[in-house]
């Protein structure tokens, strides 16, 4: 971006004699107003001062970048002041900073995140370079400073041949500090002879993602971040030095030296590529599966919290005879009930769609994904509509990013206006006017089928779910059953998940019972496995039985599946429901469909019956195997 496009000589003052931050900002606001960039100078001034109250805009080396986005701004622009005497009390990242060069950015509210992002990022990159700062600070006239803004282009500098460090920078806003910290680390690396490669995790998603080769060669990693680092598992083989995003702005060399010191002490392990290293190479089947699981993983906390709040409201009403309070609008118990209900009924589907889309096309797909989920809720599309909306939003945005990549001066406009607006309109329209009736019809048919399950049909469904849960103990078949049960829960039918949760205990209980009660038939390592699987079973974790299964899958898998089928059939036939996933044994307190004691006896009893059957089969098949080996 050419910085000169958003300013002119009349917006630049050199040798200005002002002594406070407020005076400087008011002076620059008047400059912008005089050039016709503002509707209201006072409103914009208030917007800038509100931003000043959030975090320091003073940086280091005499720099400050105050800014504000407001409806009072007609067109994006910036004004510059170079002071005759520095201001010592301007709040800055570097406490010793004495501000003498100020850039005031004026951004229209409708361009927040577009011009705002690009301009800040470009300024941050340039001002982080000592040579660029020095050139601006040496200017003696406004004309000279104006020419110096774009007078020299930054040339690519070859990485030195010494040690290599990979870094990630990220700040809450994902704008100025993210880019300035990156530039500071790279510049410091050049000065001390270390190759520093920085991945920016900012408002545009992940930029300059580290390659597999770079991660393999690196000696250490630096996380200069005030938010969680994405895909952190890529750096598992490296010593990681963690610090704030502001630290490189104060002492980038010191940060690098501390990282190298940590690398010297700890050393690095052998690099093992992860699926996150080159995400663009995954097959579409894997991408679809990952999108579904990402969406589900993000709605689980919502379902758990919403379900527990709703269950607590019901239990309080029943335990203390407060049913009238529970039903009275705007009462405290009614409000708790509505809170839990809205988390399940209003929030869940949009979050599912948004994060499925995010898994496919990153941050630009979040807005369209939420729009698709809201549309799915409007048409009563339920879980199926939410999944369809997530796929539509994800793949449409992936296509749009290829057709119209965010490059050049309009990259911010494309990323933060065109992508979300066009994506939301297109995907929302498709959901509402094209797929609405078919999806709603399919969802209602599925829900009606689930609600009408009884007798033989319910038993068959429960048995199938039981087999799927224990067939691969947390693998793809298990995950398919899980997805179906969560979808049924999202549509208001809680019976399948109750069966799923009960069956998850069968494999763990049966392995423990078989190996501890019939020790002579099992190896020492199998008995060791059995000692802990029952605890994992109480937590709803099936994977604990995998080591036992791997050694003899042809006998163990059918044994576990038969007992699990019986458990699933008992629960679904009894019409017991569960609307809180992942609660393990604590599910006993939130079961539905019968009085709590009765529901608990059926649900836990079904798991114990299934475990007893699987235990008998595990022992019988093991005895048969041992006899066959002795012949």
Query: Does 120 have pLDDT greater than 70?
Result: no
> What is the pLDDT at residue 172?
59
528 pLDDT band (50/70/90 cuts)? confident
> What was the pLDDT predicted at 176?
60
Q: Which of 171, 210, 485, 561 is catalytic?
A: 171
Is 67 tagged catalytic? yes
Question: Residue 241 is inside which H or E element, if any?
Answer: strand 240-243
How distant, in Å, are the alpha carbons of 396, 502, 568, 594 from that of 455? Answer: 44, 19, 13, 17
Instruction: Check if 171 is active-site.
Output: yes
Render pLDDT for 387-440 as a digit per residue (tens, 0 to 9): 899 999 999 998 998 888 766 556 667 777 888 899 999 999 999 999 877 887
- The confidence score (pLDDT) of residue 567 equals 94
In the chain, pLDDT over 70 holds for what percent of residues? 88
- Report the share of the chain in percent with pLDDT over 90: 22
Average pLDDT on 89-101 reads 84
- The Cα-based distances of 80 to 64, 130, 140, 347, 413 in angstroms read 10, 18, 13, 45, 24
Note the pLDDT of residue 384: 83
319 Cβ contact list (under 8 Å, min separation 6): none
| Whether pLDDT at 136 is above 90 | no
Burial 213-244 (b: 16+ CB within 10 A, else e): ebbeebbbbbbbbbeebbbeebbebbbbbebb
pLDDT per residue as tens digits for the range 238-292: 999 998 877 887 788 889 999 998 988 888 888 776 544 444 455 677 788 778 8
Structure tokens at 274: 């992860």
pLDDT score of 607: 93
- Specify the pLDDT at position 322: 86
Residue 253: closest CA among 170, 179, 196, 177 = 196
For residue 156, what pLDDT band results from cuts at 50, 70 and 90? very low
pLDDT score of 124: 66
* Model pLDDT, residue 278: 46
Kind and range of the H or E run holding 106:
strand 99-108
| pLDDT at res. 363 | 81
The top-scoring range by mean pLDDT among 276-285, 297-306, 515-524 is 515-524
List beta partners, residue 109.
Answer: none
| Predicted pLDDT of residue 408 | 53
- Whether the CB-CB separation of 103 and 123 falls below 8 Å is answered with yes
Average pLDDT value over all residues in the chain: 82
13-59 per-position pLDDT tens digit: 998 888 899 999 999 999 998 888 888 899 889 888 888 877 777 87
| Band of pLDDT at residue 569, cut at 50, 70 and 90 | very high
Nearest alpha-carbon partner for 180 in 191, 169, 192: 169
Reduced to 3 states, what is the DSSP secondary structure of residue 504? coil
pLDDT, average across residues 519-533: 81
313-321: average pLDDT: 80
Q: Which of 202, 197, 175 is nearest to 362 (CA)?
A: 202
| pLDDT for position 221 | 94
pLDDT for res 269: 85
- Per DSSP, the residues of 15-75 read EE---SHHHHHHHHHHHHHHTT-BS-HHHHHHHHHHHHHHS--B-STTEE--EEEETTBSS
CB of 463 closer than 8 Å to CB of 407: no
Contact in structure between 102 and 66 (CB atoms under 8 Å):
yes
Please give the pLDDT value at position 1.
60
In total, the chain counts a number of residues equal to: 631
How many CB atoms are located within 10 Å of the residue 414 CB? 19
Nearest to 507 by CA among 584, 577, 571, 559: 559
pLDDT in the model for residue 318: 74
More confident residue, 102 or 444: 102
What's the pLDDT at 538? 84
Tell me the pLDDT band of 359, cut-offs 50, 70 and 90: confident
**Residue located via tokens 């939301």:** 424
What's the pLDDT score for residue 509? 92
**Average of per-residue pLDDT across 335-344:** 85
């Amino acid at each position: 971006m050419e910085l000169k496009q958003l300013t002119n000589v009349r917006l630049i003052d050199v040798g200005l004699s002002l002594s406070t931050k407020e005076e400087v900002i008011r002076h620059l606001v008047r400059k912008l107003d005089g050039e016709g960039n503002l509707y209201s100078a006072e409103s914009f001034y208030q917007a800038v001062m509100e931003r000043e109250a959030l975090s320091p805009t003073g940086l280091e080396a005499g720099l400050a970048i105050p800014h504000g986005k407001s409806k009072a701004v007609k067109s994006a622009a910036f004004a510059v002041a170079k002071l005759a005497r520095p201001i010592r009390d301007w709040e800055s990242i570097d406490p010793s900073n004495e501000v003498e060069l100020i850039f005031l950015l004026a951004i229209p509210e409708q361009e927040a995140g577009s011009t705002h992002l690009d301009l800040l990022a470009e300024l941050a990159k340039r001002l982080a370079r000592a040579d660029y700062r020095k050139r601006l600070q040496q200017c003696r006239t406004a004309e000279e400073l104006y020419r110096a803004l774009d007078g020299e282009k930054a040339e690519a500098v070859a990485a030195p041949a010494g040690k290599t460090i990979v870094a990630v920078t990220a700040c809450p806003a994902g704008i100025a500090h993210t880019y300035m910290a990156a530039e500071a680390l790279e510049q410091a690396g050049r000065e001390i002879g270390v190759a520093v490669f920085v991945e920016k995790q900012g408002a545009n998603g992940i930029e300059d993602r580290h390659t597999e080769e770079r991660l393999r060669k690196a000696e250490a990693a630096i996380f200069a971040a005030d938010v969680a680092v994405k895909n952190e598992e890529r750096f598992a083989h490296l010593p990681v030095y963690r610090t704030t995003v502001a630290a490189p702005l104060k002492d980038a060399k010191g940060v690098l030296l501390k990282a190298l010191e940590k690398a010297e002490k700890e050393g690095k392990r052998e690099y093992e590529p992860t699926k996150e290293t080159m995400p663009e190479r995954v097959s579409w089947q894997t991408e679809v599966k990952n999108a579904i699981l990402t969406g589900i993983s993000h709605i689980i906390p919502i379902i758990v919290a919403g379900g527990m709040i709703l269950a607590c409201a019901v239990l309080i009403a029943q335990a203390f005879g407060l049913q009238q309070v529970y039903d009275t609008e705007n009462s405290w118990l009614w409000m708790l009930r509505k809170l839990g209900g809205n988390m399940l009924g209003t929030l869940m589907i949009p979050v599912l769609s948004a994060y499925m889309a995010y898994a496919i096309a990153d941050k630009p797909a979040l807005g369209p994904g939420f729009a698709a989920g809201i549309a799915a809720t409007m048409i009563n599309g339920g879980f199926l509509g939410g999944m369809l909306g997530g796929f539509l939003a994800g793949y449409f945005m992936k296509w749009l990013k290829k057709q119209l990549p965010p490059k050049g001066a309009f990259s911010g406009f494309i990323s933060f206006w065109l992508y979300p607006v066009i994506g939301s309109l297109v995907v929302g329209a498709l959901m509402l006017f094209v797929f609405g009736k078919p999806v709603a019809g399919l969802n209602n048919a599925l829900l009606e089928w689930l609600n009408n399950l009884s007798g033989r049909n319910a038993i068959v469904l429960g048995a199938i779910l039981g087999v799927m849960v224990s067939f691969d103990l947390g693998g793809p078949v298990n995950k398919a059953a899980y997805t179906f049960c969560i979808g049924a829960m999202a549509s208001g039918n809680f019976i399948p998940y109750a069966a799923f949760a009960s069956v998850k205990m069968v494999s763990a209980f049966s392995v423990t019972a078989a190996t501890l009660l019939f020790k002579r038939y099992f190896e020492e390592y199998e008995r060791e496995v059995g000692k802990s699987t029952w605890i994992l079973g109480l937590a709803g974790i099936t994977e604990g039985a995998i080591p036992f299964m791997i050694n003899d899958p042809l006998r163990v898998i059918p044994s576990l599946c038969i007992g699990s089928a019986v458990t699933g059939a008992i629960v679904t036939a009894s019409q017991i429901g569960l609307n809180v996933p992942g609660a393990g044994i604590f599910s006993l307190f939130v079961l539905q469909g019968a009085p709590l004691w009765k529901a608990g006896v059926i649900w836990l009893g079904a798991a114990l019956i299934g475990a007893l059957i699987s235990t008998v089969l595990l022992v019988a098949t093991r005895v048969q195997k041992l006899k066959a080996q002795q012949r």
